[in-house]
């Protein structure tokens, strides 16, 4: 099989249901998509073609929080090569959260990347919160819902009882200071439950993009279904204690002392 071109990938994205002129938040693993003629930049070009110039493309560019965050310089951490190349492109904006930044390009980029509170990083007043408010779509390319940041928005909206603090370096009166930022952190493996919830309601389109499995859903449907499940069981996304998952155990331990 020959390597797909950017046009081939754009056609696959449109077939999956990416809306022209829409707002699209993408979590991706280029390793799962490749090979592609032109590499990850061709994937970015394909996403742009599928969206058309009047669409807005958003990607997570989170950082390790260990050094002072500079949106123009600090590399992303664990977000993949596509997101790392995307935020560096001319004309792409990057939000200023020291740990939970996002990059965006298109007519809604300034709105998506507007300043936000430090905590929670993925609450209603954050890039993912704005993608949700503006009825955007979420695309997972070669990654599962365990990487889907918008599920943290559902946790914030449902007021889950857990929150773990992480250090972040920020400038306070011109001096670098380490602040603790509370977030609904855990291993996120149980975010994968969302596949079944969306599939049984026909709210997730799936198909191949390059070699990757793609999942596409509306942010509104995703968050609404996750909030429904969290209302029934606020701990549904945490591994049970008997699984001895280190991160979820820390989240369980935070219940009762978590700050709202
Ligand atoms: Zn866990």
For the residues 59-64, what does the mean pLDDT come to? 94
- The band of 260, judged by pLDDT with boundaries at 50, 70 and 90, is very low
Q: Which of 64-68, 79-83, 143-147, 235-239 has the lowest mean pLDDT?
A: 64-68
User: What per-residue confidence (pLDDT) applies to 64?
Assistant: 86
**Sheet containing 212-218: order of strands:** 93-94, 102-105, 56-60, 23-28, 137-141, 212-218, 205-209
CB 210 within 8 A of CB 9: yes
- Among 121-130, 159-168, 222-231, which stretch is predicted with the lowest mean pLDDT? 159-168
Contact yes or no for 191/158 (Cβ under 8 A):
no
What tens digit of pLDDT does each residue of 73-103 get? 999 999 999 999 999 999 999 999 999 999 9
Residue 238 Cα, ligand 1 centroid: separation in angstroms?
6
- CA of residue 240 to ligand 1 center, whole Å: 8
Give phi and psi for 181, each to the nearest 5: -115, 125
For residue 46, the CA-to-ligand 1 centroid distance in Å is 34
d(CA 194, CA 238): 13
Task: Give the model's confidence band at 66: pLDDT under 50 very low, under 70 low, under 90 confident, else very high.
Answer: confident
Question: Residues near 214 by Cβ (< 8 Å), separated by ≥ 6?
Answer: 12, 13, 16, 139, 140, 141, 142, 206, 207, 208
pLDDT, tens digit (0-9, with 9 covering 90-100), for 188-238: 999 999 999 999 999 999 999 999 999 999 999 999 999 999 999 999 999
Cα Rg of the chain (Å, integer): 18
Q: How far is the CA of 249 from the centre of ligand 1 (A)?
A: 7
Task: Name the DSSP class of 35.
Answer: -
Burial degree of 104 (CB within 10 A; 0-12, 13-18, 19+) = buried
Q: How far is CA 74 from CA 20, 93, 97, 100, 228, in A?
A: 31, 13, 12, 12, 37
């Amino acid at each position: 099989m020959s390597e797909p071109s950017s046009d081939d990938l754009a056609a696959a994205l449109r077939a999956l249901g990416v809306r022209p002129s829409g707002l699209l938040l993408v979590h991706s693993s280029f390793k799962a998509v490749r090979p592609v003629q032109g590499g990850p930049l061709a994937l970015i070009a394909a996403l742009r073609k599928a969206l058309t110039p009047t669409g807005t493309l958003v990607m997570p560019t989170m950082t390790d929080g260990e050094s002072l965050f500079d949106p123009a310089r600090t590399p992303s951490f664990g977000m993949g090569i596509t997101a790392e190349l995307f935020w560096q492109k001319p004309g792409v904006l990057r939000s200023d959260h020291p740990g939970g930044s996002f990059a965006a390009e298109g007519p809604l980029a300034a709105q998506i990347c507007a300043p936000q509170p430090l905590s929670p990083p993925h609450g209603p007043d954050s890039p993912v919160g704005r993608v949700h408010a503006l009825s955007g779509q979420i695309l997972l390319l070669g990654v599962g819902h365990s990487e889907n940041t918008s599920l943290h928005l559902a946790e914030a909206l449902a007021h889950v009882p857990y929150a773990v603090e992480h250090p972040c370096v920020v400038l306070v009166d011109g001096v670098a200071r380490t602040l603790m930022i509370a977030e609904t952190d855990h291993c996120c493996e149980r975010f994968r439950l969302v596949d079944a919830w969306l599939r049984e309601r026909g709210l997730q389109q799936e198909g191949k993009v390059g070699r990757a499995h793609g999942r596409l859903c509306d942010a509104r449907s995703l968050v609404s279904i996750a909030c429904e499940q969290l209302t029934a069981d606020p701990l549904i996304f945490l591994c049970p204690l008997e699984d001895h998952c280190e991160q979820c155990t820390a989240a369980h331990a935070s219940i009762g002392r978590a700050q709202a």
